């Protein structure tokens, strides 16, 4: 968050450390981007993503990004099956992840100015 806070096209509308907190925030307002880790203090990022795919989810689906230390092949496949657009290994892809997050955020900023 510290690195991304300098990105002018990005605003943090919510931060959660548990699955329950994340799902609660996602039901209170729409989000353009959803950046999750697989391992949370309680629960996991996959379940957070799945919560936005429930039939009663009240907002448009956000763009999904995963940034994790658990970049195993089976997790990448699970992410792909959930429609995750971007999956990054924290230890190897951090700079690319930051660039991608900034680029994705700028897409929404451009939509607002149209």
Got the DSSP string for the chain? Answer: -TTGGG-TT-------SBHHHHHHHHTTS--SEEEE-SB-SBSBHHHHHHHTTSTT--SPPPEEEEEES---HHHHHHHHHTT-SEEEEHHHHHHHHHHHHHHHHHHHHHHHH-
Q: Which pLDDT belongs to residue 107?
A: 86
Q: How many CA atoms lie within 13 A of 73 on its CB side?
A: 0
Q: Which pLDDT belongs to residue 3?
A: 73
Architecture of the domain defined by 18-113: 3-Layer(aba) Sandwich (3.40)
The domain spans of the chain are 18-113
In the chain (114 residues long), the average pLDDT of successive 10-residue segments reads: 72 91 96 95 97 97 96 97 97 92 83 50
Q: Which pLDDT belongs to residue 2?
A: 73
CA torsion 63→94→8→47, rounded to 10°? 30
């Amino acid at each position: 968050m510290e690195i991304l806070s300098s990105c002018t096209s990005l605003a943090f509308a919510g931060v959660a450390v548990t699955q329950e907190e994340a799902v609660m925030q996602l039901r209170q307002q729409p989000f353009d981007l959803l950046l999750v880790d697989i391992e949370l203090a309680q629960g996991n990022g996959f379940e957070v993503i799945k919560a936005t795919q429930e039939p009663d989810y009240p907002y448009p689906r956000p763009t999904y990004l995963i940034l994790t230390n658990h970049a195993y092949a089976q997790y990448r496949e699970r992410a792909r099956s959930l429609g995750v657009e971007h999956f990054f290994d924290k230890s190897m892809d951090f700079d690319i992840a930051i660039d991608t997050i900034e680029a994705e955020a700028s897409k929404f900023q451009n939509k607002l100015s149209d």
